[in-house]
Amino acid sequence: MELFDQQRQQLIETEAPLAARMRPRTLDQFVGQDHIIGQGRLLRRAIQADQLSSLIFYGPPGTGKTTLARIIANTTQAHFISINAVLAGVKEIREAIATAQEKRGMYAQKTILFVDEVHRFNKSQQDALLPWVENGTVILIGATTENPYFEVNKALVSRSRIFQLKPLDENDLKQVVMQALQDSDRGYGKLTIQLHPDAIDHLVNVANGDARALLNALELAVETTPADENGVIPISLSVAEESIQQRAVLYDKEGDAHFDTISAFIKSLRGSDPDAALYWLARMVYAGEDPRFIFRRMLILASEDVGLAAPDAVAIVNACAQAFDRVGMPEGRYPLAQATLYLATVPKSNSVMGFFDALAAVEREREEDVPLHLRDANRDKHSFGHGSGYLYPHSYREHWVAQQYLPNSLQGQVFYQPSNQGYEEDIQQQVARRREEQLASLVEGIGVALPEVLTFSPTNSTEDRWLQRTLSQVGEQLGLVRDRLFHLAQPQRHHLILDLNAGSGLLTWEALRRVPEGGVYACVRTLDDAEALQEQASVLPELSRPIVLRSSLADLPQALEKYPDIRFDHILGHNALLQESDRPFILNSLVERLQPDGSLTLAETIPRHTQRLYRLLEPERFTKKLLNRLIKAEESIYTNPSDPMVNWDVDELRSLFHTANLTVDIQVEQTQTDIRITSHLLERWFRPGESRPSYADHLFNFLSESEVRTVRELFTKYLLNQVVKWEGAIAFIQASH
C-alpha cells in the first residue's frame, strides 16, 4: 500500500499545476512578505530556532499562507499534521489530537497542526480544538483570508500570534515569474521561452498581487503556445492578454474587502478627494456592491461629516437615492456618481458630534432636575412656581434673550462647536457672541438660580506639593520625549528598531511593545547597564527579548558584525550624540545600517540652550564685578571650540546630517522643569571633575579661589532646598535617505 501511495504522490507532484509545483520549500526560496520573515524578524527567528508558538496567517489568496506552513513543516523537528477546515470536522480534529498525544508521550515530540481556511471551522469545531492548543498538545498554525478577529474563536485568537500577509508587489511577482522560467525540475527551465516585457508587465498588473493567479496565467500561456521553428515559445502581449483577460477583484460582501473598500470610500469623501471617492465607488460598483448600501452610508456622512456646513446635503443625497430607485441600473450610476461628487466637494463639518458629548455628559453626570424657569408652567405654576422667571425670546429684539438653559451643574458647558465651513461660517460668530452674553448673564445671576457655595482645603503642605511636582515633572518630561520620538518614527509591528542609548530602558521597553513581530536591538555602554537590561528582560519569552549590544557608538559597527544582514527600519536615541566627539563617523555608520526607507529619530538636548546657573539668583545678590566675571566664566563653557560635547547648536546638527546625505527635519522645543536644588546637586557642581571638568573647574579659569567660594556660599544660602525653573531645549530630529 505504501508503494502505491508513494507512486500516487509522485504523479500528483509531476502533474500538479505550475503554481503547486513551484511552491517554495525553504525560507530562502520564499518571495515577498519581508515585513514578517525578513532577516531579524520574529517569525524568521522562531522558524529557524524551531521555537514556534501558535500562529494565524491572515491575508488575501496567493500571498503565501499555505506555503509558509509547508516551509515550517520542512524546517521543524516537530510532527506536522495538515487538515483543511472545508473538508475536516470534529472527527479529524480528534484523530490529530490522538496522534499528537502519542507523539508527545512516546517520543517527547511536539506536534504542529496546520488548519487551512481555519475560519471555516464552526464554533463547535473550534471549541474542540481550543483545550489542546491551550495545554500545548498541539501548536496551531491557521491560515485564513478573513479577519481572524471577527471570524475565528476569540479564545483561539488570544492564544495565537497574528501575522498579516500582504499582496505581492510588482518586483515580487516578477521574481516569481523568473523562478518558474529558470527552474528545470519544477518549472520551465528546460524550455526556451521568450517572454516579451509588455507581456510580463500585463501578467503582473492583472494578477493583482496574487502569485497563484500569475503562475496559472503563465502556465496557460506556455502550454497553449506552440514553439516556433527554432524551438522558442514566444509569449507576446496578445498571448498574455488571452491568458489572463480580466483582473479578479477581491470583494466579498461579508468579508474584509467589503468593509475596507467602503471605509476607503467614506474616508475619501470626508477628506474632500473627489478622484479617490470616484475610484472607490467604481471598485464597489464593479464588484457588484448594492448601491442602496452605498447611498445609506452617504446619507450618514451627509449628517455626520457635512452637517450644518451644507444643511441641504441630506436632502440632495436622499433625492439622488430616490432617483436611483426610480431609474435603476445601469443609468442609476449617474445619481450615484452625482451624490458622490457633491459630498466630496461640499464644505465639511462634524459639529453634530456635539450630541455624543452631550450624551456622555448625561451618562457621566448625576441626573439633575430641570431648572425651575424651564419647567412646564401650565400645570403647577401657582403651586410650585414652575416656569417662574422664564424670559420669552419672542418678546425681545432679534427674538433672543440671554438666559441659561442647561442644568446648574453644566453651566458654561459647550457641546456644539460650529466650524468655519459653508453655512456654519455665517452662524459661528453669532453663536459665539450669544454664548458670551449668556456667560455675562450667568455672572450677573440673570435667568439662573445661584449656585451653592462650596469650600475645600488642600491635603498636602506646600513643601510636599512642590516635591511631588518636581518628581512627577521629571518623569513626565521623559515620558513626553519617549512618546514624541515614537510619534515621529511611527513604527509598525513588524519593524526592526535599534535603541542607541538603552541604559535607562526608556525607549527599549516601549519599542518591544510597539514591534512584537519585529525585533529590538539595545545598545548600552557599560557592563552594569547590560546586565540590568538582560535581567529585566529575563521575564520575557526568549524570542521577545531585546538583543543587547554592549558597545559605545564608535564601536557599534564592530558589535553589529555578528548580524551582517540586519538593516533597521528605525534607529532611535535620547541624548545619544550628546557625549560623542566623532559624530560624522557615528552618523555614517548608522546610515549604513538603515533600511532604504528607514528613519533615524533622535531627541538631543542642546547644550548651548541649557539653564545658566547665574540666572537662578537675582543679580543684586552679587557685586557687579563678580556677576560680570561669573557670566563670562559660565558662558565660556558653551563657546569652547575645543569641547565638541557642548559647543554645538542646531545649525551644526543640521549640517552634520546634510553631510551624511540625509534629509533632515529638526524641531526645537523649549523646556521648563521644576527641580529642587539639593546639597548633593550643589556638591556635584562645586567639587573637582573626574572624566570631565565640573562647573567649579570652569569657573577657576576666570575667577579666583575666594570668588568661587563666594559663589558657592551664595548658591547655598539662597538656593539650597529651593525649587527653581530649569530651562533648556530639546531638538527632535528625524532623518531619512
Each residue of 624-668: pLDDT tens digit?
889 998 999 888 888 877 776 777 778 888 888 888 888 999 999
Q: Which domains does the chain have, with CATH numbers?
A: 33-164 (3.40.50.300), 256-348 (1.20.272.10), 352-444 (1.10.3710.10), 467-606 (3.40.50.150), 612-642+678-721 (no CATH)
Percent of the chain with pLDDT over 90: 13
Q: What string of DSSP letters covers 259-306?
A: HHHHHHHHHHHHTT-HHHHHHHHHHHHHHT--HHHHHHHHHHHIIIII
Angle ∠(452,456,461) on CA atoms, nearest 5: 165
Average pLDDT of the segment spanning 368-372: 67
Tell whether the model's pLDDT for residue 113 goes beyond 50. yes
Q: What is the mean pLDDT of residues 357-381?
A: 66
- The predicted structure's pLDDT at residue 81: 87
- Helix 291-301 vs helix 313-327: crossing angle, to nearest 10: 170
Per-residue pLDDT tens for 399-421?
666 666 666 656 556 666 666 77
Judged against a pLDDT cut of 80, whether residue 359 lies above it is answered with no
pLDDT of residue 710: 92
Quote the pLDDT of residue 590.
Answer: 93
Containing 59, the helix (H) or strand (E) segment is: none
Q: What is the pLDDT of residue 720?
A: 86
Q: What pLDDT score does 489 carry? A: 93
Query: Is the pLDDT confidence value at 693 over 50?
Result: yes
pLDDT (mean) for 524-548 = 84
Give 716's strand partners: none
Q: What cell does 509 get?
A: 521597553
The mean per-residue pLDDT over the stretch 439-461 comes to: 35
Per-residue pLDDT tens digits for 49-86 = 888 888 899 888 878 888 888 888 888 888 888 888 88
What pLDDT is recorded for position 646? 74
Alpha helices (H) in 291-376, listed in sequence order: 291-301, 313-327, 333-345, 354-364
What is the rounded CA–CA span in Å between residue 725 and residue 714? 18
Is pLDDT of 488 > 90?
A: yes
Tell me how far apart the alpha carbons of residues 515 and 546 are, in angstroms, rounded to a whole number. Answer: 11
What's the pLDDT at 472?
39
**Predicted pLDDT of residue 445:** 38
| Whole-number pLDDT of residue 612 | 87
Q: What is the pLDDT of residues 551-568, one digit of tens each?
A: 999 899 999 999 998 999
The pLDDT score that the predictor gives to residue 84 is: 86
pLDDT in tens, 215-252: 888 888 888 888 888 888 888 888 887 777 655 455 55
Decide: 578 and 606 in contact? Cβ < 8 Å: no
Tell me which of 11 and 595 has the higher pLDDT. 595
- Tell me, what's the pLDDT at 449? 32
Lowest mean pLDDT among 355-369, 403-417, 553-567, 606-620: 403-417
Answer whether residue 469 shows pLDDT above 50.
no
Contacts of 32 (CB under 8 A, 6+ apart): 63, 64, 166, 168, 169, 172, 211
Q: What is the pLDDT of residue 255?
A: 58
pLDDT digits 0-9 by tens, 245-304: 655 455 555 556 677 888 889 988 888 888 888 888 888 888 778 888 899 999 999 998
- pLDDT at position 461 is 35
Does the N-terminal peptide bond of residue 330 adopt cis geometry, omega within 30 degrees of 0? yes
The residue among 644 and 320 whose pLDDT is bigger is 320
The rounded mean pLDDT for the chain is: 79
The predicted structure's pLDDT at residue 37: 86
pLDDT value at 317 more than 90: yes
Residue scoring higher pLDDT (10 or 117): 117
pLDDT at residue 310, as a whole number: 87
Residue 442 pLDDT > 50: no
pLDDT above 90 for 485: yes
Of residues 465 and 29, more confidently modeled: 29
Q: Contact at 8 Å (CB) between 201 and 227?
A: no
